[in-house]
Amino acid sequence: MRLLHTSDWHLGRSFHRESLLGAQRAFLDHLVETVRTERVDAVLVAGDVYDRALPSLDAVALFDDVLHRLADLAVPAVFISGNHDSARRLGVAAGLIGRAGIHLRTDPAGCATPVLLADEHGPVALYGLPYLEPALVRADLGLDRGGHAAVLGAAMERVRADLADRPAGTRSVVLAHAFVTGGQPCDSERDITVGGVASVPASVFDGVDYTALGHLHGCQTLTPRLRYSGSPLAYSFSEARQRKTMWLVELGADGSVAAERVDCPVPRPLYCLRGRLADLLADPDLDAHQDSWIQVTLTDPGRPADPMERLRRRFPHTLQLLFDPDERPEDGLPSYGARVRGRADLEVAEGFVQHVRPGTELHPAESRWLREAFEAVREDAR
């Protein structure tokens, strides 16, 4: 059986205020075409379909469109809700939609009720475990307390119990949305730490043939049977070097797993620049990145005038500007707060002006204006 494993679409998300709806539409076109050309038997979407619990109308329209297209291909699809999704909203009309072969698994109570498929080698049971918020699902899973590992462990015990009652040789697949120990996070995932350690051990998923994971945005293999697909698009500059893909998984007659990566369309490459402003503007080797989305970290000792405007003249798609001066104060103190501790207000203000205008002394009139401003504030306070 051929399975296409994807996750973390985050429909409706933008990238530093740049709309990604067009790029997300192109990805979904690519997904549907991959399903058709690769003769995929089932699509697995491991959570975070939307970026927000209340998605935009445009995001909902994208989701609605891809559901119809998958249904038209008569290819079953299993979706679970992630920590960004509203499980109740995503699961609306799940029973009716399921009749079209689109299975929305958003209710923890149904985690041990599989979607049953079959090929020439026999049955395959697909179990969808939606994101399990410990405080909200403990009671449903028969627990008095415990964090992510405990609730996922309880859900998997139910899965294994159901699987044990299935005919011998039934192959099994689990979809889950979690941070599994050993996975490598990046900057665009929302922290799921609530009341304890966020990560869960890989052993939680023992006993099934393949686990399709969602939540972490980098494609990665924890074991041959336990993989993250990653997000189809980059949602932070920490993902600039990631290759965005889906997993095309071949589930053998004996439950063996073979997987290959299917590349996703890249709307615009990401590139991170670092250096002094004058050097970045003059370096001819950077011409190749003029059409990329750019993050710039300036290392000038002082902040140059109009840096973003000057950068965008050469790199029109500069989206993020950071400062990390390569010349540090000689006092050895770790932070600006430590350097100004104990100083008078006027002294701090004068020092700040000199910090952001290196090499330029305050004019006496500027010192007078600052002093008068502080005196006026104190008078108002009295």
pLDDT of 128-176, one tens digit each?
999 998 889 998 888 888 888 999 999 999 999 999 999 999 999 999 9
Boundary of a domain, candidates 239, 263, 287: 263
Q: Are residues 277 and 158 in the same domain?
A: no
Q: Where are the beta strands (DSSP E) in 224-372?
A: 226-228, 245-251, 257-263, 270-275, 293-298, 318-323
Q: Which of 231, 263, 295 is the last residue of a domain?
A: 263
Looking at residue 147, what is its pLDDT? 87
Question: What average pLDDT does the structure give for the chain?
Answer: 91
Extended strands (E) in the chain = 2-6, 14-15, 18-19, 42-46, 77-80, 102-105, 115-119, 122-129, 171-177, 179-180, 199-200, 210-214, 220-223, 226-228, 245-251, 257-263, 270-275, 293-298, 318-323
pLDDT for residue 121: 95
Residue 23 lies in a domain: yes
The pLDDT of residue 313 is: 96
| Residue 307 within a domain | yes
Whether 67 and 199 map to the same domain: the answer is yes
Residue 273 has pLDDT above 50, yes or no: yes
Residue 319's pLDDT is 97
Same domain, yes or no, for 251 and 382?
A: no
Query: What is the model's pLDDT at position 327?
Result: 75
pLDDT tens digits for 94-112? 999 999 999 999 999 999 9
Same domain, yes or no: 180 and 67:
yes
Q: Are residues 42 and 115 in the same domain?
A: yes
Predicted local confidence at residue 332, as pLDDT: 56
CATH code, 114: 3.60.21.10
**Residue 203 exposure: Cα atoms within 13 Å on the Cβ side:** 1
Does residue 342 fall inside a structural domain?
yes
Verify that 113 and 199 share a domain, yes or no.
Answer: yes
**% of the chain beyond a pLDDT of 90:** 75
Res 349: pLDDT: 86
Same domain, 14 and 99: yes
- Write out the residue range of the structural domain in which residue 323 sits: 268-327
Binning pLDDT at 50, 70 and 90, where does residue 194 land? very low
Q: How confident is the model at residue 296 (pLDDT cuts 50, 70, 90)?
A: very high
Q: Domain for residue 60, yes or no?
A: yes
Q: Are residues 287 and 152 in the same domain?
A: no
Is the per-residue pLDDT at 197 higher than 70? Answer: no
Instruction: Tell me if 141 is assigned to some domain.
Output: yes
Q: Would the pTM count as exceeding 0.95? A: no
Residue 301 maps to which CATH number? 3.30.160
Is residue 332 a part of any domain in this protein? Answer: no
pLDDT reported for residue 144 = 85
Residue 211 and residue 277 in one domain: no
Q: Summarize pLDDT for 77-89 with one digit per residue, the tens.
A: 999 999 999 999 9
Whether 220 is covered by a domain: the verdict is yes
Candidate from 97-101, 306-310, 345-349 with smallest mean pLDDT: 345-349
pLDDT band, very low/low/confident/very high, at 192 (cuts 50, 70, 90): low
Looking at the structure, do residues 54 and 26 belong to the same domain, yes or no? Answer: yes
Q: Looking at the structure, do residues 241 and 320 belong to the same domain, yes or no?
A: no
**318, pLDDT greater than 70:** yes
Domain count across the chain: 3
The domain boundary residue, chosen from 213, 228, 263: 263
Determine the pLDDT at residue 195: 37
Report the distance separating Cα 27 and Cα 244, nearest Å. Answer: 11
Q: Which residue has the higher pLDDT, 375 or 233?
A: 233
Does the residue 130 lie in any domain? yes
Q: Is 309 helix (H, G, I), strand (E, B) or coil?
A: helix
pLDDT band at 196 (very low <50, low <70, confident <90, very high): very low
Q: Is the pLDDT of residue 377 over 80?
A: yes
Q: Are residues 202 and 282 in the same domain?
A: no
Q: How confident is the model at residue 2 (pLDDT cuts 50, 70, 90)?
A: very high
What is the per-residue burial (b if ≥16 Cβ within 10 Å, else e) of 134-162? beebbeebeeeebbbbbbbbbbbebbbeb
